[in-house]
Amino acid sequence: MPQMAPMNWLTLFFFFTITFLILNSMNFFQTNYSSKTSSIKKKLNKINWKW
């Protein structure tokens, strides 16, 4: 059973790391994260202050 050359392993490593980084960046930029400060401000505006 022949073994793969080290250069082939290196190109596979770079290929998988680049695809991993691309997929992670696509996932990060496609999701919309809601900021916590805006939700806190909305909650404070809804409170009826009694004093």
1-24 residue pLDDT tens:
456 677 788 889 999 999 999 999
Measured between alpha carbons, how far is residue 37 from residues 15, 34, 40, 44 in Å?
A: 39, 9, 5, 11
CA angle 33, 31, 43 (to 5 degrees): 25
At residue 46 the predicted structure's pLDDT band, cuts being 50, 70 and 90, is low
Note the pTM of the prediction, 2 decimals. 0.52
In the numeric block, which tokens belong to residue 29? 């930029």
- Taken in order 34, 35, 38, 44, the sign of the CA dihedral is positive
Stated as kind and residue range, the H or E segment containing 37 is: helix 36-46
